[in-house]
Homo-oligomer: A and B are copies of this chain.
Amino acid sequence: MVSLRDFILGISPLSESAWQDINALFLPKQLRKGDYFITEGKTATQIGFISSGIVRAFAKGKNGQEYNKHLFTAPSFIGGYASLITGNINKINQEALTDCELLVADYNKLTGLYDKHPDFERVARKLAELFFAAKEQREIELVMLSAEERYLLFRERMPGLEFEIPLYHIASYLGVSAVQLSRIRKSLAR
């Protein structure tokens, strides 16, 4: 299990003093399967770190359809990132798909450390860059690859995950209906 400390240090080095200040802002929190970490409608204020468990981030369309924007597994940050950084109303929901262990901090208190700890702002910069690169990759794959190719990629990248959560969540993450994913699986099995 990767600690928050190791996770951050994996991104960029940090002075011990910066780490102390950061660590002091995170408090443990549990989510039970089905609980929400954030819901749409208000500006996001908190950032979380998943120590264990699975969380889906999804957007809701006008007709009630849901789109699983991301499936988070430990270790990773969760929260309404776009809302946190822009200050706009959050439009994303994040629901625990299993029981989860989190560490949670107030985002504004964290960003308040940037002036005192430029090495922490560097972490934030690199994180934002990594998030961007991941999004760009996903965007290209959504447009350039067939649903079948996306499914195969998913199995490579997140092996086993398809047996831990309902298939319709994976379908939504892949941008297809559950029915279509079922067809794809059938045709692959042959």
Q: Which residues of A contact B (CB under 8 A)?
A: 59, 61, 65, 67, 69, 81-82, 85-86, 91, 114, 118, 121-122, 124-126, 128-133, 135-140, 142-144, 175
Nearest-neighbor residue (CB-CB) of A81 within chain B: B132
Nearest Cβ on chain B to A60's Cβ, whole angstroms: 9
Nearest-neighbor residue (CB-CB) of A137 within chain B: B82
Complex formed: what's the CA distance from A64 to B86 in Å?
37
- Interface SS majority for chain A: helix
Asked if residues A140 and B59 are in contact (CB atoms below 8 Å), the reply is yes
Tell which of B69, B129, B130 touches A136, judged by Cβ atoms closer than 8 Å. B69
On chain B, the residues within 8 Å of A61 by CB distance are: 144
Asked if residues A125 and B121 are in contact (CB atoms below 8 Å), the reply is yes
Nearest-neighbor residue (CB-CB) of A174 within chain B: B143
Nearest Cβ on chain B to A8's Cβ, whole angstroms: 15
Asked if residues A144 and B82 are in contact (CB atoms below 8 Å), the reply is no
Complex formed: what's the CA distance from A138 to B129 in Å?
17
On chain B, the residues within 8 Å of A86 by CB distance are: 129-130, 133
**With A114-B122, A118-B118: A129-B65 Cβ-Cβ less than 8 Å:** no
Asked if residues A143 and B175 are in contact (CB atoms below 8 Å), the reply is yes
**Seed contacts A125-B125, A142-B143; 4 additional CB < 8 Å A-B pairs:** A59-B140, A67-B144, A85-B129, A139-B139
Asked if residues A132 and B85 are in contact (CB atoms below 8 Å), the reply is yes
Asked if residues B132 and A139 are in contact (CB atoms below 8 Å), the reply is no
